[in-house]
């Protein structure tokens, strides 16, 4: 075999191998293409299913959103949505009815200052310009510093009217009880005073007896005055004329009234602010009511402590070492006409409670049987009304006072 023939045979073999490799690659390519077609078909089906599920979800969300919008519109309350910056981003029609429009994009604090008036003694209530009263509820829609907030404004005008009507009916009922007890409470001391007065007109009456009868008449008339003042204040139900006055002057006057107390009377006064806003006569009557109750309970030691509290509020504590009050009676001490005294109307502590509430304050009673009683009054300081301050700090004891 010649060299040329051998080269031709090798070339034919290489060509055969190339065709074989080409056929194998073509077969592999066909298989890969078929697999790719199957993957494309499967992915297309999955995409179609996902698209169908998404469309179904969107339709359900739109249905729920429409339902929520209907519920939001039908709610008998104003709903306002705020973003993290305190701006209104959504609201219902009731919100526009309550606050006016436009609201979207407005600062909530600005809207409140323009449309909502504060209600004294009710921090969660506001009054609209048309006189309606509403309650305010605020909640976060999610946790975090950038959380949106939802504000709910509910019209409580009818509820407040019913509550006021009920309070008025209760007050009228209490007034009826007061009138029923008035005759007995006035008649007895008045008859005693008239008896002593008739004896004083006798020319043969000794001078020391005349002085004694005069003192008895003054005691009975003072008692009548206290009863009538209590009834008048109770009838006013906290509607008192308010003005600034010196607490120091009031306490000095109370101390002077305790000079006839046979036991130990001490006061400790520590104030940065000597002034209060309120009704001086009514508050003096309340303090004296508590002091007189302590003296009449049989206590031989009474302490009056007055301290400056949080935000210049005034804390008045009246403590005695008397017989104390039983636990079952303690919960009733501020109820009108509840009394254990044979000669009392039961209005004293009810009037004290009414006066303290009229001053936007609070009062609590603490007592332990056979260990004494303490009444604690908390009143707002004058600086909470934006007025000036003065200073008073003194200690006093009966018949030995230093200021």
pLDDT over 60 (residue 394):
no
Q: What pLDDT score was predicted for residue 393? A: 39
178 & 228 share domain: yes
Q: How far apart are CA 274 and CA 391, in angstroms?
A: 5
Of the listed ranges 56-65, 119-128, 170-179, 324-333, the one predicted with least confidence: 170-179
Q: Grade residue 172 by pLDDT with cuts at 50, 70 and 90.
A: confident
Return mean pLDDT, the chain.
Answer: 79
342 & 362 share domain: yes
Q: Grade residue 252 by pLDDT with cuts at 50, 70 and 90.
A: confident
Residue 171, domain extent: 160-237
pLDDT over 70 (residue 269):
yes
Contacts of 239 (CB under 8 A, 6+ apart): 358
* Domain end residue (candidates: 40, 74, 108): 74
Q: Grade residue 318 by pLDDT with cuts at 50, 70 and 90.
A: very high
Average pLDDT over residues 48-72: 82
94 & 166 share domain: no
Average pLDDT over residues 74-89: 85
Whether the CB-CB separation of 314 and 276 falls below 8 Å is answered with yes
* Domain end residue (candidates: 237, 262, 280): 237
177 & 311 share domain: no
219 & 312 share domain: no
pLDDT over 90 (residue 320):
yes
Q: Are strands 301-308 and 264-271 parallel, antiparallel or unpaired?
A: parallel
Q: What pLDDT score was predicted for residue 177? A: 66
Percent of the chain at pLDDT above 70? 81
* Cα angle, residue 387 at apex, residues 256 and 267 outer, rounded to 5°: 25
Number of domains in the chain: 4
Average pLDDT over residues 125-146: 81
* Domain end residue (candidates: 209, 237, 265): 237
**Domain of residue 316, CATH code:** 3.30.565.10
Q: What is the pLDDT of residues 335-370, one digit of tens each?
A: 776 676 656 666 778 888 888 888 888 999 999 888
268 & 398 share domain: yes
349 & 402 share domain: yes
Contacts of 293 (CB under 8 A, 6+ apart): 348, 349
Q: What is the pLDDT of residues 38-55, one digit of tens each?
A: 888 888 888 888 888 888
Q: What is the pLDDT of residues 209-238, one digit of tens each?
A: 888 888 888 877 877 776 677 666 666 655
Q: How far apart are CA 164 and CA 170, in angstroms?
A: 10
pLDDT over 50 (residue 400):
no
184 & 217 share domain: yes
Of the listed ranges 77-81, 266-270, 282-286, 397-401, the one predicted with least confidence: 397-401
pLDDT over 60 (residue 184):
no
**Domain of residue 97, CATH code:** 3.30.450.20
Contacts of 310 (CB under 8 A, 6+ apart): none
344 & 358 share domain: yes
83 & 190 share domain: no
254 & 387 share domain: yes
Q: Grade residue 381 by pLDDT with cuts at 50, 70 and 90.
A: confident
pLDDT over 80 (residue 70):
no
Q: How far apart are CA 30 and CA 15, in angstroms?
A: 22
Whether the CB-CB separation of 336 and 349 falls below 8 Å is answered with no
130 & 203 share domain: no
Q: What pLDDT score was predicted for residue 313? A: 83
């Amino acid at each position: 075999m010649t060299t040329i023939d051998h080269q031709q045979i090798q070339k034919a073999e290489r060509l055969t191998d190339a065709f074989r490799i080409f056929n194998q690659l073509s077969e592999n390519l066909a298989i890969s293409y078929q697999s790719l077609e199957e993957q494309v078909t499967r992915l297309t089906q999955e995409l179609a299913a996902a698209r169908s599920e998404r469309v179904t979800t969107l339709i359900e969300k739109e249905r729920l959103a429409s339902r929520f919008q209907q519920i939001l519109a039908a709610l008998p309350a104003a709903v306002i949505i705020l973003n993290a910056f305190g701006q209104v981003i959504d609201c219902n029609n009731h919100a526009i009815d309550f606050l006016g429009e436009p609201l979207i994009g407005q600062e909530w604090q600005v809207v409140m200052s323009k449309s909502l008036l504060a209600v004294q003694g009710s921090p969660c209530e506001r009054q609209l310009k048309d006189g309606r009263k509403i309650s305010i509820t605020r909640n976060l829609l999610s946790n975090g510093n950038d959380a949106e907030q939802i504000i709910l404004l509910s019209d409580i005008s009818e509820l407040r009217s019913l509550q006021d009507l009920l309070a008025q009916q209760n007050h009228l009922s209490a007034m009826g009880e007061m009138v029923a007890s008035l005759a007995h409470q006035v008649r007895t001391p008045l008859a005693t005073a008239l008896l002593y007065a008739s004896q004083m007109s006798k020319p043969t009456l000794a001078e020391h007896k005349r002085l004694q009868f005069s003192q008895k008449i003054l005691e009975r008339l003072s008692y009548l005055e206290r009863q009538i003042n209590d009834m008048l204040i109770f009838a006013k139900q906290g509607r008192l004329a308010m003005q600034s006055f010196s607490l120091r002057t009031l306490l000095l006057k109370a101390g002077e009234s305790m000079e006839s107390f046979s036991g130990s009377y001490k006061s400790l006064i520590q104030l940065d602010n000597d002034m209060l806003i309120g009704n001086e006569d009514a508050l003096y009557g309340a303090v004296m009511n508590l002091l007189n109750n302590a003296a009449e309970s049989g206590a031989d030691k009474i302490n009056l402590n007055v301290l400056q509290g949080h935000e210049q509020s005034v804390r008045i504590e009246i403590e005695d070492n008397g017989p104390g009050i039983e636990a079952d009676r303690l919960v009733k001490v501020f109820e009108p006409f509840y009394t254990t005294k044979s000669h009392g109307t039961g209005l004293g502590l009810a009037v004290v409670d009414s006066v303290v509430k009229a001053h936007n304050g609070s009062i609590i009673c603490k007592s332990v049987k056979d260990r004494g009683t303490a009444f604690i009054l908390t009143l707002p300081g004058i600086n909470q009304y934006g007025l000036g301050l003065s200073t008073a700090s003194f200690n006093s004891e009966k018949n030995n006072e230093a200021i």
